[in-house]
């Protein structure tokens, strides 16, 4: 099986966002911040209440609640902006090149006209399908990116990847509802 597709900057961005979402460092846990905020708020609220500053205590609690509600979105926006800058600096020259991927019995050959790489199936750690992409994670901590839109009919590619995963005992994950 042979497929051709073009990776654009948006494809690289979505890939990096997907990788970041799988990384524990990028996982945002509002419950930890909420716990700290509630403890600080309770102590300061109690202090303000005992000092007869009820209005200030209520305002601080309301403002803190708004911050807690908005913080996850703000953090995700910050990470997306930083990752976008990284993608522009790192993959700017690679964007727009046609990639050819040829599947063989025990490996795949990928190339862009300038470079080519042979990837043995036993080097693939897992394959993840999202609504727009197939990502094959390689042991070198990199990924193969296959955009569904760029290949036309994704069913034969999905079936080939499922066969490779079954034959090589590679985990296949479906995260069709993944979003950044």
Of residues 145 and 150, more confidence is placed in 145
Q: How confident is the prediction for the chain on average, in pLDDT?
A: 86
Can you say how many angstroms the Cα of residue 20 is from the centroid of all Cα atoms in its chain?
Answer: 5
Domain 2-19+93-175 CATH (choose: 1.25.40.10, 2.70.98.50, 2.30.29.30, 3.50.50.60)? 2.30.29.30
**Residue 176 DSSP symbol:** T
* Helix or strand (DSSP H, E) at 99: strand 98-103
Q: What percent of the chain has pLDDT over 90?
A: 52
**Per-residue pLDDT for 125 more than 90?**
yes
**Per-residue pLDDT for 31 more than 70?**
no
Predicted local confidence at residue 27, as pLDDT: 65
Task: Report the C-alpha gap between 162 and 166 in whole angstroms.
Answer: 6
Domain boundaries, the chain: 2-19+93-175, 25-91
At 80-113, the pLDDT tens digits run 999 999 999 988 788 888 999 999 999 999 998 8
DSSP line for 12-74:
HHHHHHHHHHHSGGG---HHHHHHHHHHHHHHHHHHHHHTT-HHHHHHHHHHHHHHHHHHHHH
Residues belonging to the chain: 180
**Per-residue pLDDT for 162 more than 80?**
yes
Task: Report the C-alpha gap between 84 and 102 in whole angstroms.
Answer: 30
Predicted local confidence at residue 28, as pLDDT: 59
- CA torsion angle 112 113 114 119 (round to 10): 50
Structure token pair of residue 123: 């080097």
Half-sphere exposure of 68 (CA within 13 A, CB side): 17
Phi, psi of 112 (to 5 degrees): -120, 20
Band (33; pLDDT cuts 50, 70, 90): low
């Amino acid at each position: 099986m042979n497929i051709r597709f073009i990776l654009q900057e948006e494809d690289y961005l979505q890939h990096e966002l997907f990788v970041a979402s799988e990384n524990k460092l990028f996982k945002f846990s509002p419950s930890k911040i909420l716990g700290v905020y509630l403890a600080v708020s309770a102590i300061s609220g109690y202090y303000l209440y005992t000092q007869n500053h009820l209005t200030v205590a209520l305002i601080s609690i309301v403002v803190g609640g708004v911050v807690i509600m908005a913080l996850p979105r703000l953090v995700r926006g910050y990470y997306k902006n930083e990752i976008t800058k990284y993608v522009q600096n790192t993959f700017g020259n690679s964007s727009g090149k046609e990639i050819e991927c040829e599947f063989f019995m025990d490996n795949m050959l990928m190339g862009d006209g300038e470079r080519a790489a042979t990837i043995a199936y036993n080097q693939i750690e897992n394959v993840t399908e999202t609504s727009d992409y197939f990502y094959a994670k390689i042991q070198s901590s990199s990924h193969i990116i296959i955009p569904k839109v760029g290949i036309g009919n994704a069913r034969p590619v999905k079936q080939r990847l499922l066969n490779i995963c079954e034959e090589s005992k590679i985990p296949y994950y479906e995260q069709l509802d993944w979003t950044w």
